[in-house]
Structure 1
Amino acid sequence: MLPATAKKFPLHPRHPERVCWGCDKYCPASDMACGNGSSRTQHPVEIFGEDWFEPAETDKRG
Protein backbone atom coordinates (compact mmCIF):
# COMPACT_ATOMS: atom_id res chain seq x y z
CA MET A 1 0.00 0.00 0.00
CA LEU A 2 1.36 3.40 -0.99
CA PRO A 3 1.41 6.22 1.57
CA ALA A 4 -1.14 9.00 1.11
CA THR A 5 0.36 12.17 -0.30
CA ALA A 6 -0.86 15.70 0.15
CA LYS A 7 -2.20 17.63 -2.81
CA LYS A 8 0.20 19.99 -4.53
CA PHE A 9 -0.28 23.51 -3.17
CA PRO A 10 -0.86 26.00 -6.00
CA LEU A 11 1.45 29.02 -5.94
CA HIS A 12 -0.77 31.28 -8.07
CA PRO A 13 -4.37 30.05 -8.17
CA ARG A 14 -6.68 31.84 -10.61
CA HIS A 15 -9.40 32.71 -8.09
CA PRO A 16 -8.05 32.13 -4.56
CA GLU A 17 -11.06 33.90 -3.04
CA ARG A 18 -13.36 31.07 -4.17
CA VAL A 19 -11.62 28.37 -2.11
CA CYS A 20 -10.93 27.69 1.57
CA TRP A 21 -7.22 26.87 1.92
CA GLY A 22 -7.42 25.56 5.51
CA CYS A 23 -6.92 21.86 4.69
CA ASP A 24 -6.27 19.48 1.79
CA LYS A 25 -9.95 19.39 0.79
CA TYR A 26 -9.89 22.87 -0.82
CA CYS A 27 -13.65 23.30 -0.31
CA PRO A 28 -15.60 26.01 -2.14
CA ALA A 29 -15.86 29.09 0.09
CA SER A 30 -19.65 28.88 -0.06
CA ASP A 31 -19.80 25.20 1.02
CA MET A 32 -17.06 24.27 3.50
CA ALA A 33 -17.25 20.60 4.46
CA CYS A 34 -14.32 20.26 6.86
CA GLY A 35 -15.71 22.32 9.75
CA ASN A 36 -12.62 24.52 9.76
CA GLY A 37 -14.33 27.41 11.52
CA SER A 38 -17.00 29.74 10.22
CA SER A 39 -14.88 31.59 7.66
CA ARG A 40 -12.51 30.42 4.98
CA THR A 41 -8.73 30.41 5.32
CA GLN A 42 -7.11 32.78 2.83
CA HIS A 43 -4.40 31.72 0.38
CA PRO A 44 -0.99 33.29 1.17
CA VAL A 45 -1.09 35.24 -2.12
CA GLU A 46 -4.14 37.11 -0.77
CA ILE A 47 -2.29 38.06 2.41
CA PHE A 48 1.33 38.57 1.34
CA GLY A 49 1.07 39.35 -2.39
CA GLU A 50 2.26 37.70 -5.60
CA ASP A 51 5.81 37.02 -4.34
CA TRP A 52 4.69 35.32 -1.10
CA PHE A 53 6.78 32.18 -1.71
CA GLU A 54 10.05 34.00 -2.52
CA PRO A 55 12.61 34.46 0.25
CA ALA A 56 12.58 37.97 1.67
CA GLU A 57 15.60 40.17 1.19
CA THR A 58 17.43 40.71 4.45
CA ASP A 59 19.11 43.88 5.57
CA LYS A 60 22.85 43.14 5.42
CA ARG A 61 24.51 45.79 7.52
CA GLY A 62 28.11 45.18 8.29
Structure 2
Amino acid sequence: MSKPFPVHPTHPERICWGCDRYCSSTSMDCGNGSTRTMHPCETLGEDWYLDYGFEPPAKPEKVDNAPRLIPAQRQD
Protein backbone atom coordinates (compact mmCIF):
# COMPACT_ATOMS: atom_id res chain seq x y z
CA MET A 1 0.00 0.00 0.00
CA SER A 2 1.37 3.39 -0.89
CA LYS A 3 1.90 6.23 1.52
CA PRO A 4 -0.52 9.16 1.44
CA PHE A 5 0.66 11.91 -0.88
CA PRO A 6 0.83 15.30 0.86
CA VAL A 7 -0.99 18.12 -0.91
CA HIS A 8 1.00 20.97 0.66
CA PRO A 9 4.28 19.66 2.09
CA THR A 10 6.19 22.02 4.36
CA HIS A 11 9.55 21.76 2.56
CA PRO A 12 9.03 19.97 -0.77
CA GLU A 13 12.55 20.83 -1.91
CA ARG A 14 14.06 18.48 0.69
CA ILE A 15 12.49 15.29 -0.68
CA CYS A 16 12.50 13.35 -3.94
CA TRP A 17 8.86 12.69 -4.90
CA GLY A 18 9.59 10.08 -7.57
CA CYS A 19 8.42 7.02 -5.62
CA ASP A 20 6.93 5.96 -2.30
CA ARG A 21 10.28 5.98 -0.53
CA TYR A 22 10.43 9.81 -0.26
CA CYS A 23 14.23 9.83 -0.15
CA SER A 24 16.15 12.86 1.00
CA SER A 25 17.24 15.01 -1.93
CA THR A 26 20.87 14.55 -0.88
CA SER A 27 20.70 10.76 -0.43
CA MET A 28 18.49 9.02 -2.98
CA ASP A 29 18.35 5.26 -2.42
CA CYS A 30 15.83 4.33 -5.09
CA GLY A 31 18.04 4.95 -8.12
CA ASN A 32 15.43 7.28 -9.59
CA GLY A 33 18.11 9.23 -11.39
CA SER A 34 20.75 11.76 -10.59
CA THR A 35 18.31 14.54 -9.66
CA ARG A 36 15.23 14.54 -7.50
CA THR A 37 11.67 14.51 -8.83
CA MET A 38 9.93 17.75 -7.87
CA HIS A 39 6.58 17.88 -6.04
CA PRO A 40 3.69 19.09 -8.25
CA CYS A 41 3.29 22.23 -6.11
CA GLU A 42 6.81 23.24 -7.18
CA THR A 43 6.07 22.92 -10.88
CA LEU A 44 2.32 23.62 -11.17
CA GLY A 45 1.67 25.98 -8.25
CA GLU A 46 -0.14 25.75 -4.93
CA ASP A 47 -3.46 24.73 -6.51
CA TRP A 48 -1.94 21.83 -8.45
CA TYR A 49 -4.42 19.28 -7.07
CA LEU A 50 -7.33 21.03 -8.82
CA ASP A 51 -5.79 20.15 -12.22
CA TYR A 52 -6.08 16.47 -11.32
CA GLY A 53 -9.64 16.58 -10.02
CA PHE A 54 -8.81 16.25 -6.32
CA GLU A 55 -11.04 17.91 -3.78
CA PRO A 56 -9.47 20.81 -1.87
CA PRO A 57 -8.02 19.56 1.41
CA ALA A 58 -10.33 20.02 4.36
CA LYS A 59 -9.08 22.28 7.07
CA PRO A 60 -8.35 20.21 10.14
CA GLU A 61 -10.88 20.65 12.87
CA LYS A 62 -9.64 21.54 16.30
CA VAL A 63 -9.71 18.39 18.36
CA ASP A 64 -9.63 18.77 22.10
CA ASN A 65 -7.87 15.69 23.40
CA ALA A 66 -7.01 17.22 26.75
CA PRO A 67 -7.66 14.91 29.65
CA ARG A 68 -10.78 15.70 31.59
CA LEU A 69 -10.35 16.19 35.31
CA ILE A 70 -13.24 14.90 37.33
CA PRO A 71 -13.57 16.47 40.76
CA ALA A 72 -13.16 13.97 43.55
CA GLN A 73 -16.19 13.19 45.65
CA ARG A 74 -15.78 14.32 49.22
CA GLN A 75 -16.39 11.60 51.72
CA ASP A 76 -17.10 13.05 55.15
TM-score band, normalised by the shorter chain? Answer: 0.7 to 0.9
2:33 matched residue in structure 1? 37
Taking only aligned residues, the RMSD between alpha carbons, in angstroms, comes to 1.2
Instruction: Using structure 2 for the length normalisation, give the TM-score.
Output: 0.66
Q: Which amino acid aligns with 1:11?
A: V
Structure 2 residue aligned with 1:13, among 6, 9, 17? 9
Query: Which consecutive residues of structure 2, in runs of 5 or more, have no partner in the other structure?
Result: 53-76
Task: Please give the TM-score of this superposition, normalised by the length of structure 1.
Answer: 0.80
1:12 aligned partner, one-letter code: H
Q: Which runs of 4+ in 1 moved over 3 A?
A: none
Runs of 5+ in structure 1 lacking a partner? 57-62
The structure whose RCO (Cα within 8 Å, separation 6+) is larger is: 1
Aligned residues: 52
